[in-house]
Amino acid sequence: MPELLIQDDGAVRVLTMNRPEKRNALNLALSEALFEALRAADGAADIRALVLTGAGPAFCAGADLSEFAALSSANAALVERRADITAKVHGVFSQLTKPVVTAINGAAMGGGAGLALAGDIAIMSASARLGYPEVKHGIVASVVMANLVRQAGRKVAFELVATGEAIDAARALELGLVNRVVAPQLLMHEALQFARAMAAVAPQAMAATKALFYRAAELPFDQALKAGRAMNQRMRGFRKDKP
């Protein structure tokens, strides 16, 4: 079975992490397949939105610990390759021109929690849980921290990475980490509804919206206003209803 399932629903591409026996833990093969699939979808003219979910009862358990034995100083090239793809996967979401909805169907832990929150829209099953347990294993929630501190703010982010305690869907919604919490049987329906609505938007407008959103989030206020002003002028060039 492939590590990643790819299925199109009209203009929406659904990516399903497919290692249910490992709770969709991110080994090197799945990480590389996911990165390439995200980039390929972004370059596909007939695809306008994406949904990312997991097969089986879990969304993603994080890094596949069974590979850690090979990640030693004696195998520096593999260590570098693994670190590189991990950073690329977690960093690519905000660089895509197309929106990504994460459908968090079950436990999302460590790197899996990072993927769950990396999407532009996050829909979470009421029975799912989310957490960063790395510190309990004597390691650091390292790559995922960049997105987390931006999504959750400093106090909440530090609590999550420093205690390693998982939170339920209701708490994730309360903290603003996810957009909706729905019954498990409604998860994919809700995720696809969001994706279809965004897929209906003109591609240029969506790409520009994403680019400006993530840029403005990192800029000081006055610079964000300046970037918005520049986009305001630019967007008039691709409006279909311009005079």
Per the residue annotation, which of 36, 134, 159, 190 is the catalytic one?
134
CA dist., res. 157 & res. 26, Å (int): 22
CA 127 to chain centre: 19
Instruction: Give kind and range of the element (H or E) at residue 14.
Output: strand 12-17
Cα gap 90→31, rounded to integer Å: 10
The per-residue DSSP string of 126-173 comes to TT-EEE-GGGGGTS---TTHHHHHHHH-HHHHHHHHHH---EEHHHHH
CA–CA dist 17, 216 (Å, integer): 31
32 an active-site residue? no
**Residues taking part in catalysis:** 134
